Amino acid sequence: MPREKFRTLTEQMFYILLCLKEECYGMDILDKIPAMTGKRVSVGSGTLYNLLEQFLEADMILETKVEGRKRSYILTEKGREMLDKEYARIKAQAQDYRAIFGEEAT
Amino acid sequence: MKDIKYRFEQFAFYDHDAIKERLEAMALQGWLIEKPGNFIWRYRRIEPKKLHVAVTYFPNASEFDPGPTEGQQMMEQFAKKDGWKIAARWGQMQIFYNEAEEPTPIETDAVTQVETIHRAMRKNMLPTHFILLALCIYQLCFSVVDFIYDSVDFLSAPASLYMVPSWILILIPIIIEICFYFSWYKKAKTIAEERDEFLSIKRNHAGSYILLLLSLLIIIIAFVSSGITFAAMLIWIVVMGVIIFTVNMLKNRMKRKGVSRNLNRFMSIGITFILTLIFIYGVVFIIIRYGTNYGRTPVGTYEHYGTTLKIYDDPLPLEIEDIMDIDGQWSKEARGNETIFVSDMRYNQRSIFIEENEGPDLSYRIIDVKVPFLYDFCKESLLNEYQDEVYDDYIFYNSYFTVDASDWNAGEVYQLRWSDSILNTYLVCWENRIVEIKFYWEPTKEQIAKVAEILGK
């Protein structure tokens, strides 16, 4: 069944929002995510740009500074709520996984 | 050695996989894309090398932008951080290249990628295709109405009849393209959401090109069959080419001068409209001013009350002299249309208006129906050209009624009634031929028999 926009977050969306807990330049997110995830996750420049635009439109982030082409953003309450929901969903999935596989899961 | 190369390329605007594949292959041969276009792409020479190419879409960009928008510049800056350099922009399409061995892809989220492509297509390819679809359907509906309203004219006129298959051959690839795109979008969206994978676009255009070429061939046949000369067609093509070239040149000049997107779009559309109108009015003016002889040449002229009238001497299958013993001077004109279904020839023998010339006139129309099942359509169409008019209790007669066909040795014969008079106009139905004939005198039985002998099959 098709997902309602931002009802669940992809990994890319999740980590971009996570990076914006603190005010951050958009460009810096390209380095922050691989550093945060031990290079497990990286986000493409096109994906980053498009998601920042979509998050802005959905009021999930706020543009805080514009210095020429460098812009910085920060998470909003709504963005925080979306992250919390996604975290709860992931936790529930992890719990279900442990319930099935028991000690094997650890 | 040339540093610039032009290639004919034809991709669906959203088929970035095919574009990427082609551009990577060209880079291996030593060519980097410099300027994409609708049909011709320009490449510049580079050292042959393995490059990674990425084709991305920026929905808010436009072909009329004077330069990359702020958003595009920001995105290009992001991309530069990962080693991606901008090679070319074309409206909403941006083409990047990267020399690294394994660069981070520009698009890493399938859901976002599919949505971005769809947002770009909603502003670019889809409106164009829907407009063309509507135009094709309108033209086909118009043809149906034309056929119903006047079957004989429609079936005998190449420019009308042959345009039907032509429009159908244009309609089919458009429908295929729209269906293919939405089918891909639906599947791609589902796969992206469920598996975070991007569904490749595999689009083969070969069939569409064949249909479009066939359509062009039919259009050419239609025009040639209509009596339009190759020279006229060539002039038409050249003028259209000049209009397209002029508009593109002005659009690009406005872009270089930094004219805003909206003003550029308005001016480009306006100039296209004006130039096309000028061309059409020019054609109409020439036709009105110089007339059209339908490919015939007059043999003379004469003056009648200040008007110069032409005299023709076209061969006629039936002449007044064949059915009565009379001396006179006439202009004899023949013209008509013919297709694989119906031939509609009109003949007029008109007296020349000079003193001491009192010969009668004769005009007739021969419709040869080559496909039997169309016969009744044609007959009904001719009968329906005349309709009685009813005003309260009064009927103004203006229609055909059945008369004895034996004089004509025909299947059916109708005679025209107009108001309270019976006119000497007949519709005669032989096996594959219908003749509408107007005598400007009351014909005798012998004259009718002679006409039937000459015109009846």
DSSP string for residues in B222-273: HHHHTT--HHHHHHHHHHHHHHHHHHHHHHHHHHHTT--HHHHHHHHHHHHH
Cross-chain CB nearest to B106 (options A13, A44, A54): A44
Per the CB < 8 A criterion, the answer to whether B143 and B154 are in contact is yes
Q: What is the pLDDT of residues B69-95, one digit of tens each?
A: 989 999 999 999 999 999 999 989 999
Indicate the helix (H) or strand (E) that contains B82: none
Please tell me if residue B125 touches chain A, with a CB cutoff of 8 Å: no
| SS3 sequence of B172-236 | HHHHHHHHHHHHHHHHHHHHHHHHCCCCCCCCCCHHHHHHHHHHHHHHHHHHHHCCCCHHHHHHH
Cross-chain CB nearest to A30 (options B81, B109, B112): B81
Nearest to B357 by CA among B302, B316, B437: B302
Per the CB < 8 A criterion, the answer to whether B331 and B352 are in contact is yes
B-interface mutation test, from A50, A53, A63, most B Cβ less than 10 A away: A50
Please tell me if residue B100 touches chain A, with a CB cutoff of 8 Å: no
Helical pair B230-256 and B206-225, crossing angle rounded to 10 deg: 130
Q: A46 and B106: CB-CB below 8 Å?
A: yes
Cross-chain CB nearest to B108 (options A27, A47, A53): A47
Q: A53 and B109: CB-CB below 8 Å?
A: no
User: Band of the pLDDT at B134, cuts 50, 70, 90?
Assistant: very high
User: Band of the pLDDT at B47, cuts 50, 70, 90?
Assistant: very high
Helical pair A45-57 and B110-123, crossing angle rounded to 10 deg: 70
For the entire predicted model, the pTM comes to: 0.81
The residue assigned the tokens 């297509």 is: B121
Please tell me if residue B78 touches chain A, with a CB cutoff of 8 Å: yes
Helical pair A11-19 and A45-57, crossing angle rounded to 10 deg: 70
Confidence at residue A105, expressed as pLDDT on a 0 to 100 scale: 55
Confidence at residue B169, expressed as pLDDT on a 0 to 100 scale: 87
Q: How far is B100 from chain A (nearest CA, A)?
A: 15
- Say how many C-beta atoms besides its own lie within 10 A of residue B93's C-beta: 21
Please tell me if residue B190 touches chain A, with a CB cutoff of 8 Å: yes
Cross-chain CB nearest to A45 (options B70, B75, B196): B75
- For residue A95, give the 3-state DSSP assignment: helix
Q: Between the ranges A13-22, B8-17, B381-390, where is the mean pLDDT highest?
A: A13-22
Q: B116 and A53: CB-CB below 8 Å?
A: no
Chain A contacts to B (CB-CB under 8 A): 2-3, 10-13, 26-27, 30, 42-51, 53-54, 69, 71
User: Band of the pLDDT at B333, cuts 50, 70, 90?
Assistant: very high
Q: A12 and B116: CB-CB below 8 Å?
A: no
Q: What is the pLDDT of residues B334-357, one digit of tens each?
A: 999 889 899 999 999 998 876 666
Closest-CA residue of B relative to A29 is B78
Q: Which residues contact A7 (CB under 8 A, 6 or more apart)?
A: none
What's the whole-number mean pLDDT along residues B148-176?
88
pLDDT surpassing 70 at residue A1: no
Q: A3 and B196: CB-CB below 8 Å?
A: no
Nearest to B448 by CA among B439, B457, B440: B439
Confidence at residue A74, expressed as pLDDT on a 0 to 100 scale: 96
Closest-CA residue of A relative to B189 is A2
User: Band of the pLDDT at B215, cuts 50, 70, 90?
Assistant: confident
Q: B111 and A10: CB-CB below 8 Å?
A: yes
What's the whole-number mean pLDDT along residues B369-396?
88
Closest-CA residue of A relative to B58 is A50
Confidence at residue B75, expressed as pLDDT on a 0 to 100 scale: 92
pLDDT surpassing 50 at residue A2: no
**DSSP state at residue B370:** S
In A, which residues are within 8 Å of B189 by CB distance?
2
Backbone angles phi, psi at B247, to 5 degrees: -65, -45
| Pairs of CB atoms within 8 A across A/B | 73
